[in-house]
Chains A and B, each alone.
Chain A
Amino acid sequence: MTEENQLYRLVEDGQRLVGEEFLKGEAKIPDEALDEYVEPMPSGATGNLQTLDSSVERILNEYSETDTAMDGALAEDVHQCLDITRRTAGDPGLWHWIAVDRYPDFVRHRWEYRSEAAMREKFLGAGSDLYSNAIHRLWWIAELTSDGDDYTLTEQVFANQTIVNKVFDRWFARYQPAVVAICDELADERSGVIDEATRRFNHALTNVQLEALSEEDARNLTRRVIQDVR
Chain B
Amino acid sequence: MTKHTQRHRSTTLPFKYRDGGLDFALEEYSVDGSKPKRLDLKAGQTEIDLTQTLPSPEESEDWGKVTLFGRLYIPEETVEDVFPESERDAPPAKLYVAVRCHETIYREKAIVSDEPTGPGSYNATVNIPKKMVRGTIELRPYLVRTRDRSTDGQYAGQKNFRLASGTIYSVIVDLPPGEKPPAIDGEEVSFSRAAHLPEGDKLYYLDFRNEKRPKLWINSDHPRITDILQSQGSVGAEARMRDVILDEISYGVWSQLIVRAACAIDKDGDVEHEWQQTVVETFARNLYEVDDVSEAAHKLRADVDDPETLPHLMERIDRELQEYIDPRTQLINLMEEGLRI
Shortest C-beta distance, A220 to chain B (Å), equals: 9
Decide if B42 is an interface residue (CB 8 Å cutoff): no
Q: Which residues of A contact B94 (CB under 8 A)?
A: 212
Given contacts A86-B104, A127-B103, contact A212 B130 (CB under 8 A): no
Residues in B126-156 with C-beta less than 8 Å from chain A: 130-135, 142, 144, 156
Q: Are B57 and A85 in contact (CB under 8 A)?
A: no
Q: Of the 9-residue stretches B106-114, B185-193, B252-260, B309-317, which lies at the interface with chain A?
A: B106-114
Q: Which residues of B contact A2 (CB under 8 A)?
A: none
Shortest C-beta distance, A192 to chain B (Å), equals: 26
Q: Of the 9-residue stretches A23-31, A52-60, A62-70, A201-209, which lies at the interface with chain B?
A: A201-209
Decide if B178 is an interface residue (CB 8 Å cutoff): yes
CA distance in complex: A104, B139 (Å): 38
CA distance in complex: A127, B132 (Å): 14
CA distance in complex: A212, B177 (Å): 32
Decide if A228 is an interface residue (CB 8 Å cutoff): no
Decide if B38 is an interface residue (CB 8 Å cutoff): no
Given contacts A87-B130, A212-B144, contact A207 B162 (CB under 8 A): yes
Q: Are B105 and A128 in contact (CB under 8 A)?
A: yes
Decide if B235 is an interface residue (CB 8 Å cutoff): no
Shortest C-beta distance, A96 to chain B (Å), equals: 12
Decide if A50 is an interface residue (CB 8 Å cutoff): no
- Pick from A43, A140, A208, A211: contact of B161, CB below 8 A: A208
Shortest C-beta distance, B21 to chain A (Å), equals: 13
Decide if B52 is an interface residue (CB 8 Å cutoff): no
- Pick from B14, B102, B105, B162: contact of A209, CB below 8 A: B162
Q: Can you name the residue of chain A whose Cβ is closest to the Cβ of B132? A: A86
Q: Which residues of A contact B162 (CB under 8 A)?
A: 207-209, 212
Decide if A90 is an interface residue (CB 8 Å cutoff): yes
Residues in A189-226 with C-beta less than 8 Å from chain B: 206-213, 217
CA distance in complex: A42, B58 (Å): 9
Residues of A within 8 A of B (CB): 12, 42-43, 85-87, 89-91, 93, 127-128, 130, 140, 144, 174-176, 206-213, 217
* 5 residue pairs, one from A and one from B, having the closest CB atoms: A85-B131, A90-B104, A86-B104, A90-B103, A209-B162
